[in-house]
């Protein structure tokens, strides 16, 4: 698995912020719609979105559900703040933080979404441990991400893998990073163009 670090991620997303919605908005929108459907099916009393980015998914979530959106990039969060203000999403609070060290209590969130983030974190296993910590026992963790071996995308994966630290994206992440005795993988489905991404629903185990 290729490596990336936080400084390079911050630099990459400083470059992406002005064009992110234009480049990745429509391309990855189907996945955001599906993850929001899974949130509504879970009917959580509280929601955490890790990697809220420019706020593209926020408008799809239940408007009455208290939601915390976190991101490492202040450049991306500024655009998410505009979305919250313009769409009057009063139930949403945004925080800048490192998702591998969340400023939240143990077992404090009913549902967590992780849209297109697992490939841009330096330590995916550490991030998953942190999600388990803040998710209540029996809660739902929804992962939306590209994993290696995705059919027609395999050639592109090999091309991008050596550039991971420069582009701020790891294309060779294996889905087995999600395997852990602390939770149950309940469902996996392909989403986006030619199943570019997978939507994975995890059920958190007991603390």
pLDDT score at 169? 61
The whole-chain average pLDDT of the chain stands at 85
- The listed range with the strongest mean pLDDT (25-34, 47-56, 143-152, 172-181) is 47-56
Nearest to 143 by CA among 175, 106, 165: 175
Strands in 197-204's sheet, in edge-to-edge order, are: 92-96, 67-71, 47-50, 109-115, 135-145, 197-204, 183-191
pLDDT at 81 over 60: yes
Which band of pLDDT confidence, cut at 50, 70 and 90, is reported for residue 91?
Answer: very high
Distance of CA 95 to the CA centre of its chain: 15
pLDDT score at 167? 45
Distances (CA, A) of 200 to 77, 104, 181, 190, 195: 25, 23, 16, 9, 13
Distance of CA 55 to the CA centre of its chain: 11
Mean pLDDT to the nearest integer, 61-76: 94
The tens digit of pLDDT for each residue in 120-131 reads 888 889 999 999
The tens digit of pLDDT for each residue in 5-14 reads 677 667 766 7
Nearest to 62 by CA among 38, 85, 83, 82: 38
pLDDT score at 80? 96
Mean pLDDT to the nearest integer, 19-30: 78
Mean pLDDT to the nearest integer, 109-125: 91
pLDDT score at 195? 77
Place of tokens 């849209």: 115
Report percent pLDDT > 70 for the chain.
Answer: 82
| Both structure tokens of 147 | 């994993």
Q: Running DSSP on this structure, what letter comes out for residue 177? A: G
Rounded Cα gap, residues 52 and 96, in angstroms:
10
Place of tokens 């005795």: 181
Mean pLDDT to the nearest integer, 80-86: 96
pLDDT at 77 over 70: yes
Nearest to 105 by CA among 126, 130, 77, 127: 130
Q: What domains can you pick out in the chain, each with its CATH number?
A: 6-204 (3.40.50.150)
Rounded Cα gap, residues 177 and 175, in angstroms:
5
pLDDT score at 32? 94
Which band of pLDDT confidence, cut at 50, 70 and 90, is reported for residue 22?
Answer: confident
Mean pLDDT to the nearest integer, 165-185: 77
Phi-psi region of 188 (alpha: psi -120 to 50; beta: other; left: phi over 0): beta
């Amino acid at each position: 698995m290729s490596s990336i670090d936080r400084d390079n991620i911050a630099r990459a997303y400083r470059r992406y912020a002005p064009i992110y919605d234009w480049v990745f908005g429509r391309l990855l929108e189907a996945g955001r719609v599906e993850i929001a459907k899974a949130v509504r099916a879970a009917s959580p009393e509280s929601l955490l979105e890790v990697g809220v980015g420019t706020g593209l998914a926020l408008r799809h979530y239940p408007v009455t559900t208290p939601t915390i959106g976190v991101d490492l990039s202040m450049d991306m969060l500024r655009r998410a703040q505009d979305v919250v203000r313009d769409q009057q999403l009063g139930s949403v609070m945004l925080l800048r933080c490192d998702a591998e060290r969340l400023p939240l209590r143990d077992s404090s969130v009913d549902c967590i979404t992780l849209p297109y983030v697992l490939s841009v974190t330096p330590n995916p296993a550490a991030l998953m441990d942190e999600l388990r910590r803040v998710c209540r026992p029996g809660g739902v963790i929804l992962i939306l991400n590209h994993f290696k071996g995705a059919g027609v995308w395999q050639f592109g994966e090999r091309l991008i893998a050596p550039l991971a630290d420069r582009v701020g994206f790891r294309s060779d992440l294996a889905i087995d990073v999600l395997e852990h005795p602390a939770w149950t993988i309940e469902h996996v489905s392909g989403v986006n163009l030619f199943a570019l991404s997978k939507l994975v629903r995890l059920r958190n185990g007991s603390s």
